[in-house]
């Protein structure tokens, strides 16, 4: 196969390999990132970078984020090459160096500096493929778009002084606590995309609850009630409703415990739907904190624009045909991803591309697997890896028939 190692940094190269079809047609890119987040070995049951096969699982950092998909894609491409498979167009495989750290020398560098290597009509990447069982159906989701970053910082100010003399209404740290509480209690405006409404209808068996979740005026209260009774579906639906606030880093003081600092600050990880904008975030923040007067100020940390591909395309239909052949009880539904993937750079730089996140899991459903990404004892059922490789091989044959 024709293959290239290319990149911004010598120690962080990207591999791009091409397999040309026998006749004209579109190009499909199978994408995946090689890097992983750190792992604290003392927290793990097995060495986190061993790739150990134990108890019918493959254990290791990145096992489901997303080294399983990257391995499956590589094997699928190799099988097609060895079989001298007949197909139209081109198949491209790209294993990129940087997604987790964000040093911009991976997929983003490729689309900006070497778009000739990765230009395509269709792209498959991480971001979907787990399922939830509802009745007799396994509801799988693929991500046709993703939410954007709208991360900001809140600074609070007050009067500095000695810790022995409380300054409750002037203490910047106490004000920061009120900011955190106000953001947690604030109910941002709800937006329901048409395919989000369909997803809710399929996921929630109670029609009255589903109707409330699709009603912008009632959705937040319905989500609160679901959380209160331990309904795991609340975690799947809530990020799809619009703006979310997650306070993550608070800073104040530091000189001495008996010194009341005159200022404090809070970093907030905010995510917005592709249809939403930064000014909408500012309006929601001001609405949430209006009762705190002039004791706080707002500034942006990092703002991006969400983007999405059409949900109904030849690629989505191929995914559905292959999936339902391999998993007859499967249903495939589009959603927005609440996190970030490299697909965003491709949609930004290559207008018209159809980019989806999907890699199907079979042995375990979403509630069983939930929370393993970036966590200790990350692992994947060993049987899912060949299943995924076969899936990608069949998708290529179907889409590029």
Last residue of a domain, one of 303, 325, 354: 303
Q: What are the b/e assignments for 269-282, b being 16+ CB within 10 Å?
A: bbbbbbebebebbe
Q: What is the CATH number of the domain that holds 349?
A: 3.40.630.10
Residues 221 and 323 in one domain: no
pLDDT for residue 103 = 66
> Is residue 70 located within the same domain as residue 48?
yes
Could you report the per-residue pLDDT of 219-278, keeping only the tens digit for each?
999 999 999 999 999 999 999 999 999 999 999 988 789 888 989 999 999 999 999 999
**Are residues 187 and 267 both part of a single domain?**
yes
The pLDDT tens digits for 300-323 are 999 988 899 999 999 999 999 999
345 and 244 within one domain: no
Task: Write down which residue in 251, 271, 303 finishes a domain.
Answer: 303
**Average confidence score pLDDT of the chain:** 95
Arithmetic mean of pLDDT, 133-161: 94
Q: What is the pLDDT of residue 168?
A: 75
pTM confidence score: 0.91
Do 122 and 208 fall within a single domain?
Answer: no
Pick the more confident residue, 11 or 208: 208
pLDDT, residue 259, reads 86
pLDDT of 366 strictly over 70: yes
CATH number at residue 177: 3.30.70.360
Whether 296 and 323 share a structural domain = no
pLDDT of the residue at 55 = 96
In a shared domain, residues 80 and 122: yes
- 166 and 62 within one domain: no
Count of residues in the chain: 401
pLDDT of residue 102: 66
Strand partners for 90:
20, 27
The span from the CA of 219 to the CA of 222, in Å, is 5
**For residue 306, what pLDDT is reported?**
86
Residues 75, 81, 87: CA angle, nearest 5 degrees: 110
At 76-116, the pLDDT tens digits run 999 999 999 999 999 999 999 988 876 689 999 999 999 99
SS3 string, 49-101, reads CCCCEECCEEECCCHHHHHHHHHHHHHHHHHHHHCCCCCEEEEEEEEECCCCC
**pLDDT value at residue 170:** 85
Tens of pLDDT, residue by residue over 25-52, are 999 999 999 999 999 999 999 999 999 9
Q: Can you tell me the distance from the alpha carbon of 267 to that of 34, in angstroms, rounded to the nearest whole number?
A: 29
109 and 75 assigned to the same domain: yes
159: tokens are 């009067």
| Total domains present in the chain | 2
Asked if residue 328 has pLDDT above 80, the reply is yes
219/352 same-domain check: no
In terms of residue numbers, what domain contains 327?
A: 2-145+309-399
Same domain, 187 and 273: yes
User: Among 259, 288, 303, which residue terminates a domain?
Assistant: 303
Domain co-membership, 260 together with 346 = no
pLDDT score, position 252: 94
Angle, CA of 319, 323 and 327, to the nearest 5°: 170
């Amino acid at each position: 196969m024709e293959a290239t190692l290319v990149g911004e940094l010598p120690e962080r190269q990207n591999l791009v390999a091409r397999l040309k079809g026998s006749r004209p047609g579109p190009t499909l890119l199978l994408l995946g990132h090689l890097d992983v987040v750190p792992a604290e070995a003392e927290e793990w049951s097995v060495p986190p970078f061993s790739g150990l096969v134990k108890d019918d699982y493959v254990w290791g950092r990145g096992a489901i984020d997303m080294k399983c998909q990257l391995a499956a894609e590589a094997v699928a491409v190799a099988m097609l090459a060895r079989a001298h498979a007949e197909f139209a167009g081109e198949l491209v495989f790209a294993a990129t160096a940087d997604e987790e750290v964000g040093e911009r020398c991976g997929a983003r560098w490729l689309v900006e500096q070497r778009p000739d290597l990765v230009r395509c009509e269709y792209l498959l990447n991480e971001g979907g493929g787990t399922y939830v069982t509802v009745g007799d159906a396994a509801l799988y989701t693929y991500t046709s778009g993703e939410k954007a970053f709208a991360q900001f910082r809140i600074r609070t100010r007050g009067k500095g002084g000695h810790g022995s003399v409380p300054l409750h209404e002037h203490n910047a740290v106490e004000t920061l606590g009120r900011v955190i509480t106000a953001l947690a209690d604030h109910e941002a405006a709800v937006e329901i995309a048409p395919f989000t409404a369909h997803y809710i209808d399929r996921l929630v068996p109670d029609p009255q609850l589903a109707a409330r979740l699709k009603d912008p005026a009632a959705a937040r209260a319905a989500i609160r009630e679901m959380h209160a009774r331990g309904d795991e579906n609340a975690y799947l639906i809530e990020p799809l409703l619009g703006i979310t606030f997650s306070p993550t880093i608070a800073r104040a003081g530091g000189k001495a415990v008996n010194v009341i600092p005159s200022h404090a600050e809070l970093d907030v990880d905010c995510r917005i739907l592709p249809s939403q904008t930064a000014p909408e975030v500012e309006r929601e923040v001001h609405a949430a904190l209006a009762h705190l007067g002039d004791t706080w100020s707002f500034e942006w940390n990092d703002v991006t624009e969400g983007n999405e591909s059409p949900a109904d395309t030849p690629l989505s239909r191929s995914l559905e045909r292959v999936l339902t052949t391999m998993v007859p009880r499967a249903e495939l539904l589009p959603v927005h991803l609440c996190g970030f993937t490299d697909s965003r750079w491709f949609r930004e730089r290559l207008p018209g591309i159809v980019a989806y996140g999907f890699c199907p899991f079979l042995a375990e459903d979403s509630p069983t697997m939930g929370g393993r990404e970036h966590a200790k004892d990350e692992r994947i059922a060993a049987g899912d890896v060949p299943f995924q490789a076969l899936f990608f091989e069949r998708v290529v044959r179907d889409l590029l028939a």
